[in-house]
Structure 1
Amino acid sequence: MQIQWFPGHMHKARLEIQAALPKVDVVIEVLDARIPFSSENPMLAELRGEKPCLKVLAKSDLADEEMTLQWQEFLGATAGVRVRSVTTEDIPTIRKLKYAAARMVPHKDGKTIRTMIVGIPNVGKSTIINVLAGRKIAKTGNTPAITKQQQSVNIGDGITLLDTPGVLWPNVHNVNSSYRLALIGSIKDTAMDYADVAFFGARYLVDKYPDRIASRFDLDSVPTTELELIEAIGRKRGCLGRNNQVDIDRASTIFVNEIRSGGLGRLTYETPEMMQREQAETAKRMAEKAIEDKEKEAKRKKRFRDKQRAQRKSREMGG
């Protein structure tokens, strides 16, 4: 799945974040509890360096509770990182985030603490900002990339919060992560194919949450393949065209929207063990590609040199 998701405003946001970081005491990174790894921006981790980071697992009411606990333990094992999980409705817990961030820089006690909140589009960052500020500061919505520019907000108790636009990265080397981001709505629908995303989600859910699928779509048994599942959903939901054939695109759209709305219950689409395995596979694939690219470049240069020699020899013979 080829996704064009790094428009100009995101490149500009990256540069602004990089310029502002030296003046920031704590970074608050908002992740989606359903995909903590895939919603963690590696570009931000690189820019942050060793600066303290409070990772907030947002939308945890949509994620598998047991898996959220596993992710909190896994992410919290990194030096300089603390983890909290929140839901949109749990206002008291969200308000406590600023105190959790302040405790990460005890040397700043009594001084202004400057925090920066970052996160990919549609992760719930604006909702958290509005709760911390006690008023509507940031626009909220279900579409990615609502925040367009940085803004500094005083959230009280000597703490300021720098809001930043949601930033995706130019390339997702782990193709599974790109599908997961599309599945939960962090990528604009115009940049994805519903059928591709639905088939990816179906493969995972058939394996991990078959009972949820059977219950939600009133299926006597859960199909073993993603195509059979999408077709079964299409028949149940009346997505039929000519000759009683299932409209795969319509059925896929219904399936993806059910996932995003929480209709299938609390789901998590990746585990720490799965991510470690995929990271290793991705690193191997990238290393192999680097070797291939190097060999291609060497061949290109050789062809260019050979062509130059042939042209020079032709001129000499003609002279």
Structure 2
Amino acid sequence: MAINWFPGHMVAAQKKAAEALAEVDVVVEVLDARSPAATVNPMINAMREARQRPALKILNKIDLADPAVTEAWLAWFNAQDGVHAIGLSCKKAGESAKVLPEARKLVPHREGPLKRLRVMMMGVPNVGKSTLVNALLNRRIANVGDEPAVTKLIKRYDLPDGTWLYDTPGLMWPKIALATDGLLLAANHLVGVNAYIDEEVATYLAGILLARYPAALTARYGIDADNVDAPGVIEAIAKRRGFRIKGGSADFEKAAVTLLNDYRSGILGRMTLETPESRAVQMAALAVDDARPTGESP
């Protein structure tokens, strides 16, 4: 099942963001450090490149991500033209103080009252953008919620140092090219729950965890990771926790939600679901598919 989620209000929000970029110096795009490439919105890249604006990529939630893989992703982003990347956890006190100095490095000519720094905060829904905005303002202004697409309007705030900060709604894009990106976005709770099936997403997540973090599954659920496949992980969780439906069969849906919640909350440990190497493999496969004549089977 392909996962796509593009609520109607995002069409108008995209248009307004593209117009507002004319008045902006730097785009600050907030990503999820557990799936950095999957959370890059290609529409945001296209909009900023059309205006020739540099990007500061914020890998947020590094406290939940695998530290070694985070370092690899930072190097990957920092090798791109017009891009600078840093990692932080915007819920930690003082972490937000890193953002504006790093953004200012990208436009050193913007300094002083007549050349104030103007930044636009962007990202997919529920990635932590509004939390970062509130931290920069040092007060709760932007709405924060545990469901995607809380912010609906573009707002401008004047920071004490004279910076203009534009906060935008979380933006998705109309069609997710990689099916695995949709699954990663869903696993990280970045799309609406009506856009995916919990069991499907949890099974995909289980496959990644078996390959990269099997010990975490064993420690949390008592699973023999060497002798189980991804669907078996969900079944094992159901049996371990006693999740049953009427008739005594395993409650796969409840087990799937348990795995997703344990991963999202960090209970399973610090994990990253994609690496620069896995991304390269997926993009190469996508390029082959795109080059194949219409109607030709893979």
TM-score of the superposed pair, with normalisation by structure 2? 0.94
1:47 aligns with 2:51: no
Deviation of 1:84 after TM superposition, in Å, equals: 1.1
172-181 or 14-23: bigger deviation: 14-23
Structure 1 residues 16-47: Cα deviation after superposition (integer angstroms, max 9, x where no partner):
11111121100100000000000000111111
- Structure 2: gaps spanning 5 or more residues: none
Report what 2:34 is aligned to: 34
Deviation of 1:220 after TM superposition, in Å, equals: 4.9
Structure 1 residues 232-259: Cα deviation after superposition (integer angstroms, max 9, x where no partner):
1001111123453211111111111111
Deviation of 1:223 after TM superposition, in Å, equals: 3.9
Structure 1 residues 130-185: Cα deviation after superposition (integer angstroms, max 9, x where no partner):
01011111011110000001000112212111000000010111111100000010
* Preserved contact between residue 4 and residue 175 of structure 2 (Cα < 8 Å): no
| Matched residue count | 292
* Preserved contact between residue 234 and residue 251 of structure 1 (Cα < 8 Å): yes
1:256 aligns with 2:260: yes
Q: In the aligned structure 2, how far is the partner of 1:69 from the partner of 1:150?
A: 32
Match for residue 88 of structure 1 among 79, 87, 90: 90
> Considering only CA atoms, is the larger Rg found in Structure 1 or Structure 2?
1
Deviation of 1:189 after TM superposition, in Å, equals: 1.1
Report what 1:113 is aligned to: 117
Deviation of 1:221 after TM superposition, in Å, equals: 4.8
92-101 or 236-245: bigger deviation: 236-245
TM-score of the superposed pair, with normalisation by structure 1? 0.88
Q: Point out the structure with the larger helix share.
A: 1
Report what 1:217 is aligned to: 221
Report what 1:129 is aligned to: 133
Identity across matched positions, percent: 38
244-253 or 66-75: bigger deviation: 244-253
Q: In the aligned structure 1, how far is the partner of 2:32 from the partner of 2:54?
A: 19
* Preserved contact between residue 58 and residue 85 of structure 2 (Cα < 8 Å): yes
Structure 1 residues 29-72: Cα deviation after superposition (integer angstroms, max 9, x where no partner):
00000000000001111111131111001111110011001100
Deviation of 1:4 after TM superposition, in Å, equals: 4.4
* Preserved contact between residue 24 and residue 114 of structure 1 (Cα < 8 Å): yes
SS at match of 1:246: coil
Structure 1 residues 240-291: Cα deviation after superposition (integer angstroms, max 9, x where no partner):
2345321111111111111111111111000001111111111221232xx3
Tell me how large the CA RMSD over aligned residues is.
1.5
Q: In the aligned structure 2, how far is the partner of 1:181 from the partner of 1:258?
A: 16
- Structure 1: gaps spanning 5 or more residues: 296-319
Amino acid at match of 2:238: G
Amino acid at match of 2:20: A
Report what 2:179 is aligned to: 175
Amino acid at match of 1:88: C
Report what 1:271 is aligned to: 275
Amino acid at match of 2:193: D
Amino acid at match of 1:120: V
Q: In the aligned structure 2, how far is the partner of 1:188 from the partner of 1:161?
A: 27
Report what 1:195 is aligned to: 199
Deviation of 1:218 after TM superposition, in Å, equals: 2.6
